[in-house]
Structure 1
Amino acid sequence: MMVSPVLRCLSSPPFLFFCCLLLLQLPICRSIYCDEDDCYDLLGVSQSSNASEIKKAYYKLSLKYHPDKNPDPESRKLFVKIANAYEILKDEATREQYDYAIAHPEEVFYNTARYYHAYYGHKTDPRAVLVGLLLVVSALQYLNQWTRYTQAVTMVKKTPAYKNRLKALELERSGGVTNKKKGLKQIDKTVEEKLSNELELHIQGAEKPSLWNLIGVQFVLLPYTLGKLLIWRSCWFWRYQIKKLPYSWDDACYLTQSCLKITSDAWRNIDESTMSNLVQKRLWVKGNMESYVAEMRKESKRRR
């Protein structure tokens, strides 16, 4: 007679061994809470009892079996079980988990995991975790920015352009008089360090780190930033959408910068005549922007 694959699988030794193991593990769903006893039976209450009834039952039993009241050695063991049962049933979360374990004894691993998570899981305040995470991320961010900045400064100081600026600054500070032995080829290390501190280096992509740009500081200032942005948007809408006023110089610069998709530092480094010329083109108008792009393409091809 042919045996179906399903029956063959169910009657296989590995499956039968697993079933026996699972049956042996069924009592564990209770034992992890109150050993082999029932937490409700230990307190002499029913599963439908409320928190007040459970509390009264515990106080009554504690007066009877507390080691200070009852010297019997067995009472000490019983009192420990009663106290453990009360700790489980007085908390709504653990009581709910215990009731679930009673109703679903087959879910051994799930019930065990919930128990150990409730009793041995981390009790850290999420707010403390968030603050710690922001501090760590901010510290790493600042360290990364400072490393990039120092590396960029070191590379810039090796360029001829930087050395020429340093020599020009030395001539300016000394009134045009230099040491004839050293000339302009060599500069004292102390003087070089002093003069280099006077030179402001604006390195695109590796700006000097600032505490105000850190993630932690920005997160703390987020409500202020959002409020300021909302007020700015409201004023913009009222001034230019409702009242139809002409754009101010700063706002026109902002629109031009946004249309060209350049950073604030790059925009500030543009000379005033070029900046004024770009603003006058009114690039925030779609047609003007298209004409400007076409003009730049023609000029680029002409240079080639």
Structure 2
Amino acid sequence: MAASIELRLTLWICLVFILCFHSVSALIEGLYCGTQSCYDVLGVSRDVSKAELGRAYRQLARRYHPDRFQPGETDDTQESAQQKFLLVATAYETLKDEELRKDYDYMLDHPEEYYSHYYTYYRRRLAPKVDVRIVILVTICAISLFQYYSWWSSYTEAINYLMTVPKYRIQATELAKQQGLLNRTKEKGKNRRSKEEIREEEEQIIRDIIKNKIDIKGGYQKPNVSDILLCKIVLFPYHLCTYVAWNFSWFYRFTIRGEEYGEEERLYIIRKYMKMSQAQFDSLENSLIETFLKQQLWIKENYEAYKKEQEEEMKMKMATDSRWKRYRRWMKSEGPGRITFADD
């Protein structure tokens, strides 16, 4: 029993001795200049100024630089001179930076904080040189600009296509004539324009009417600044509060008070059952939306019956469609992955 107590006491003394040995050592191998003082390496005192520090570094750098070192001038070899040059450069890099110099002086004054010095050294060494917040902000801005440009390209492409559709072009032309925008007046003198200029003006008038009168929805709709990523992130707290307030209002009105659904609420429930986004639902024709309301699809039972009916119609269409028949024959006879010998 006494022997075991003495053994435990000896182990505790050894552990304390090891920890104290590490804590009292101000110069740590692998940190900064290692077991040598950076001030001693450069031959300067701790209150040295930046100008004196620079002069001391330049003198030692000229002496030990691999391109200027002469083996006969000192007792150092080429390899030892190179090692000293690297040590001098490390000391200068440590002391010329004010933040690094503060950390190094703190390590010299507080040798007992052994593990803290390791953390401080590697945190500063491995930390990115550029603020991560700036990188994230620049990335978000770049994505938002690309997103807005892409939306404008899609919207312009849709307008260009509608300009070629006779149905919309004729309607736009009639509206322009009714508004007196295409009533040509004879131009005389120097202000007289060419036929090409008049045609370009008429095309621009028709384009403007199509932009204002046609409601394009879905992926080709007119871009809105509030829909880009940057605005969504900035307005996220507002939208979150609005979402919470809307859900609370819905629960209070229709669950607690038992109010009857309005048209807007009915369309929301139908869209939720169909698992469609707001843009997808808005792109549907008005006649189809009116059919949803007439069939009262906001009621779960009615929607399930409608869904089953649509599935049956799709099956019948696929059974009678010649293209689907050819596809099924191809899948049965050849199909993907089937090994056959083709006679060319």
TM-score by length of 1: 0.59
Secondary structure of residue in 1 paired with 2:259: coil
* Worse-superposed segment, 259-268 or 138-147: 259-268
1:290 and 2:304 are equivalent in the alignment = yes
Aligned to 2:330: none
Structure 1 distance, partners of 2:234, 2:118, is 43
The answer on whether the counterparts of 2:267 and 2:298 sit within 8 Å (CA) in structure 1 is no
Aligned to 1:260: 274
Which amino acid is 2:29 matched to? Answer: R
User: Aligned-pair distance for 1:68?
Assistant: 10
Q: 2:104 aligns with which of 88, 103, 119?
A: 88
Aligned to 1:149: 155
1:226 and 2:240 are equivalent in the alignment = yes
Gaps spanning 5+ residues in structure 2: where?
1-27, 61-87, 186-197, 322-344
The answer on whether the counterparts of 1:171 and 1:177 sit within 8 Å (CA) in structure 2 is yes
The answer on whether the counterparts of 1:255 and 1:284 sit within 8 Å (CA) in structure 2 is yes
* Worse-superposed segment, 257-266 or 163-172: 257-266
User: Aligned-pair distance for 1:238?
Assistant: 1.3
User: Aligned-pair distance for 1:283?
Assistant: 1.8
Alignment of 1:54-65 (within 5 A): 62=46
Structure 2 distance, partners of 1:133, 1:68, is 40
Which amino acid is 1:127 matched to? Answer: R
Which amino acid is 2:246 matched to? Answer: W
1:134 and 2:150 are equivalent in the alignment = no
The answer on whether the counterparts of 1:88 and 1:95 sit within 8 Å (CA) in structure 2 is no
1:191 and 2:202 are equivalent in the alignment = yes
Structure 1 distance, partners of 2:238, 2:182, is 51
Alignment of 1:70-81 (within 5 A): none
**For the structure 1 residues 240 and 280, does the alpha-carbon distance in structure 2 shift closer, same or farther, using more than 3 Å as the test?**
farther
Which amino acid is 1:236 matched to? Answer: W
Gaps spanning 5+ residues in structure 1: where?
1-28, 43-60, 102-113, 180-186
**For the structure 1 residues 249 and 124, does the alpha-carbon distance in structure 2 shift closer, same or farther, using more than 3 Å as the test?**
same
Q: Percent identity?
A: 20
Structure 2 distance, partners of 1:286, 1:68, is 82
Structure 1 distance, partners of 2:254, 2:153, is 44
1:125 and 2:131 are equivalent in the alignment = yes
Structure 1 distance, partners of 2:33, 2:132, is 30
The answer on whether the counterparts of 2:253 and 2:259 sit within 8 Å (CA) in structure 1 is yes
Aligned to 1:37: 36
**For the structure 1 residues 88 and 161, does the alpha-carbon distance in structure 2 shift closer, same or farther, using more than 3 Å as the test?**
farther
Structure 2 distance, partners of 1:33, 1:213, is 50
The answer on whether the counterparts of 1:152 and 1:203 sit within 8 Å (CA) in structure 2 is no
